[in-house]
């Protein structure tokens, strides 16, 4: 049995595709939501047109025993609290984080939080260019599975691959999780550029300079350059910076248009921007794109001011 903790759109989508491989237990934080999904066989709140296969059982409350692997599909800023609350039940699992970002309280990524809270567990992360709806509908998707323990990574890759979900593995958990975290920050900026009507050339420039910052930051933390060039870095950046299916991109569009954004939707890049900038300052890294986007998110700058700040920087070699 595979256990997926988190019944949002992505957790549900993973449950739907992994049900092809065997029984899946999908844990929901909200008991009413779990009962509704189990009875109606659909996640009406997040994926209303995708039926749940019979191999999926939806529960809430205590975590079940006997799962052969566990996926953590919840927002980054709630992961730490969940691990603290359930560490006794999770301690000896291979725990696969399915969230992207950096924890504001600790500055850690998903695998770092797992290692800190559940020291007997084996941390891993599943990340890359993907939208929940595409996975749930069985559209071809390729992701990165990162685990520092090579043997566990190979076993997880085999268990989590389906006919339409192809996984590539790496032992570089730092690079994989930073690629997924940092691209959300750049996606907010790209959305703001397009929302403000600054054009696709400006978006391409921001993506490119943002990608350079991703490399700079990840290298300083020990990531391998080739990881950032792969699915979990460049691939995810391209998808998230160009599609309105991305919440981070849509949030940026709202900033660019000066409009409010749906407060019920999780925008991982907003918190991650602040966490990354704090870490970059501590490392004395120059990250002007991240600095400008953070100022947008916190309301310190408007889009026109952020553009002026970036364009007025001293000229330099690429």
Each residue's pLDDT tens digit, 84-103: 999 999 977 899 999 999 99
Q: What is the pLDDT of residues 231-276, one digit of tens each?
A: 999 999 999 999 999 999 999 999 999 999 999 899 999 999 999 9
Does the domain formed by 2-171 have CATH 3.40.50.720? yes
Q: Per residue in 10-31, pLDDT tens?
A: 999 999 999 999 999 999 999 9
Exposed/middle/buried for 152, CB within 10 Å: 0-12, 13-18, 19+?
A: middle
Q: 111-143 pLDDT, tens per residue?
A: 999 999 999 999 999 999 999 999 999 999 999
- Give the pLDDT band of residue 164 (cuts 50, 70, 90): very high
Residue range 265-294, pLDDT digits in tens: 999 999 999 999 999 999 999 999 999 999
The rounded mean pLDDT for the chain is 96
Distance of CA 256 to the CA centre of its chain: 23
Domain limits of the chain?
Answer: 2-171, 175-311
Q: What's the CATH code, domain 175-311? A: 1.10.1040.10
User: Is 100 considered catalytic here?
Assistant: no
Report how far residue 21's alpha carbon sits from residue 268's, in angstroms, rounded to the nearest whole number: 30
Kindly name the residue from 65, 100, 183, 259 that is annotated as catalytic: 183
pLDDT at 317 over 90: no
With CA atoms as reference, report the closest residue to 12 among 29, 32, 26: 26
Fold match flag (2-171 vs 175-311): no
**Long-range contacts of residues 87-93, Cβ cutoff 8 Å, at least 24 apart:** 87/117, 87/118, 89/62, 89/63, 89/65, 90/63, 90/118, 90/121, 91/118, 91/119, 91/120, 91/121, 92/120, 92/121, 93/67, 93/69, 93/118, 93/121, 93/122
Residue-level pLDDT at 92: 79
pLDDT of residue 221: 96
């Amino acid at each position: 049995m595979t256990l997926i903790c988190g019944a949002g759109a992505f957790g549900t989508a993973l449950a739907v595709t992994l049900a092809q491989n065997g029984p899946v237990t999908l844990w929901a934080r909200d008991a009413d939501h779990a009962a509704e999904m189990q009875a109606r066989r659909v996640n009406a709140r997040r994926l209303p047109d995708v039926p749940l296969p019979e191999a999926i059982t939806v529960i809430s409350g205590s975590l079940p025993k006997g799962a052969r692997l566990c996926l953590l599909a919840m927002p980054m800023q709630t992961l730490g609290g969940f691990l603290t609350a359930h560490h006794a039940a999770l301690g000896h699992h291979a725990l696969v984080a399915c969230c992207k970002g950096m924890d504001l309280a600790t500055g850690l990524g998903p695998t770092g939080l797992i290692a800190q809270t559940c020291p007997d567990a084996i941390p891993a992360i599943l990340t890359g260019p993907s939208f929940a709806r595409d996975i749930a509908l069985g559209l071809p998707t390729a992701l990165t599975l990162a685990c520092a323990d090579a043997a566990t990574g190979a076993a997880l890759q085999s268990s989590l691959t389906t006919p339409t979900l192809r996984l590539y593995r790496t032992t570089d958990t730092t690079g994989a999780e930073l690629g997924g975290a940092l691209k959300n920050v750049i996606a907010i900026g790209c959305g703001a550029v397009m929302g403000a009507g600054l054009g696709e050339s400006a978006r391409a420039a921001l993506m490119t300079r943002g990608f350079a910052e991703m490399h700079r930051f990840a290298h300083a933390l020990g990531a391998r350059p080739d990881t950032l060039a792969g699915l979990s870095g460049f691939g995810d950046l391209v998808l998230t910076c160009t599609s309105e299916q991305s919440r981070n991109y849509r949030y940026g569009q709202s900033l660019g248009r000066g409009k409010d954004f749906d407060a019920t939707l999780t925008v991982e890049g907003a918190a991650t921007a602040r966490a990354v900038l704090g870490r970059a300052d501590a490392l004395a890294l120059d990250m002007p794109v991240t600095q400008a986007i953070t100022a947008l998110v916190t309301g310190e700058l408007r889009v026109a001011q952020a553009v002026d700040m970036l364009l007025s920087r001293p000229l330099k070699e690429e």
